[in-house]
Amino acid sequence: MEGEMYTFVMVWISVLACLCYSHTITKFFPKGTIRFLTIFPVLCLFIYLPLCLTSINLGCNSTFFISWLTNFKLLLFAFSTGPLHSDPPLSLTRFILLACLPIKIKQPNQEVLKNGPNQKSENYPFLEIAKNGQNNDLNGESKGYHVQDLPKKGHKSLSNYAIKFLLFAALIKVYDYRESIHPTLLWLLYCFHIYFVLELLLAMFAAIARSLMSLELEPQFDDPYLATSLQDFWGKRWNLMVSNILRPTVFVPVHHVSKILIGKKLAALPAVIATFFVSGLMHELIFYSYQRRKTNWQAMCFFMLHGVALALEIGIKKMVNGRFRLPRTVSRPLTLTFVIVTSFWLFFPPFLRGNIAEVKSCKETLAFIEFVKHGRLVSPSDLTCPYL
């Protein structure tokens, strides 16, 4: 355990050093190809560094934060766009926090600001796209409108997170009786497990960043179990930090090229599929970070299936043009059923392959409890999980 913690510290020291370098080079290199070439070695290093970690908690989270989110933010930053770009430039502390953590400073809705709070505007079919993706206004004001005048969804209340934490704790206790639980029900519990872990973990980092920066941040989840369509689920409710970073790095460029090649009417379809393709690649990297096995590409198939399904959904919506809409009592269970069934089929098998995730997670949790109780580091490999 001592060796893993030492590696973890060294990995993050290297990350901080690279981010200091990336923040400094803007003074010497203009945006575009030259700045990209100076940042490119950092992008490669950020893919490698998390792979030095073998634990599921430290390794997977570091891969998600560094290899995925930070790399994509730096890629946008090379071309003076995205959350790390600001005029005037961000301070080094704020730059590092925004780069490392799954957070985004809350901005007034660009299209609402353009048309006024009470007017409607047409968004791109997959995700809302700001005109330039920049975070120039950090004081909550723009074009005469105040943040309080605009429609917004903030973070959940503390009681909401407390309830979810208690539900998660109860869920962990239920695993004691896994031998008596039907496999289908057990996998359904895994769905809630992943949701609770992600929302609570990301909310914790957001709370830390919010206290350090004294700025309002975008929420990371918006009750995904209330989604009425795949477009609603992936674009507006599930893991919004990923949606916010995939939008300018993948969706917008592909959408722009597609408009030139196949026209505006169909441009969103290849853009959606390309977005899910990249998401699938990054999930495969996360799975590899703790399994260290040759991938079977099931996670990629899961995201490609959802990309194609979402593209079909968008196409159907364009054809009916608002003339027909399923009631929410029908669309909501249909959406959740599709997400859950496809997760059982394609997402969970590679995640749980060989029982690696369950065993490693259990042992690491026991090692953490041992550290909290007795103040000593114990290697998870020296422990036996009594629940598996």
For position 120, what pLDDT does the model report? 39
Alpha-helical runs (H) found in the chain: 2-24, 33-48, 56-62, 71-77, 92-100, 110-115, 158-174, 183-213, 230-232, 240-246, 252-262, 268-291, 298-320, 328-342, 348-351, 356-374
Whole-number pLDDT of residue 122: 36
Q: What was the pLDDT predicted at 149?
A: 37
Please tell me the predicted confidence (pLDDT) of residue 21: 95
> Which region, left, alpha or beta, applies to residue 307 given φ > 0 means left and ψ of -120 to 50 means alpha?
alpha
**C-alpha to C-alpha distance for 61 and 176, rounded to whole angstroms:** 26
Q: Among all chains, which residue has been given the structure tokens 């969970």?
A: 348
Rounded Cα distance, 159 and 167, in Å = 12
Angle between helices 298-320 and 328-342 (to 10 degrees): 160
10 Å Cβ neighbour count for 304?
17
* Ramachandran area for residue 327 (φ above 0: left; ψ -120 to 50: alpha; else beta): beta
Q: Which two tokens stand for residue 53?
A: 């970690």
Dihedral, 6, 212, 63, 204 alpha carbons, nearest 10: 100
Long-range Cβ pairs for the range 174-181 (8 Å, 24+): 175/387, 176/387, 178/387
CB 232 within 8 A of CB 127: no
Domain ranges of the chain: 1-103, 155-215
Please tell me the distance from the alpha carbon of residue 322 to that of residue 351, in angstroms, as a whole number: 39
Dihedral of the alpha carbons of 104, 110, 116, 119, in degrees to the nearest 10: -100
Tens place of pLDDT for every residue, the chain, 388 residues?
567 788 899 999 999 999 999 999 888 888 889 999 999 999 999 999 999 988 888 888 899 999 999 999 999 999 989 899 888 888 999 999 999 988 888 776 544 444 444 443 333 444 444 334 344 433 333 333 333 333 445 567 788 889 998 998 888 888 778 788 888 888 888 888 889 988 998 888 888 888 887 778 888 898 899 999 999 999 999 999 999 999 999 999 999 999 999 888 889 999 999 999 999 999 999 988 877 778 889 999 999 999 999 999 998 888 888 788 888 899 999 999 999 999 999 988 877 766 666 677 777 777 766 666 766 666 666 666 655 5
Q: What pLDDT sits at residue 309? A: 95
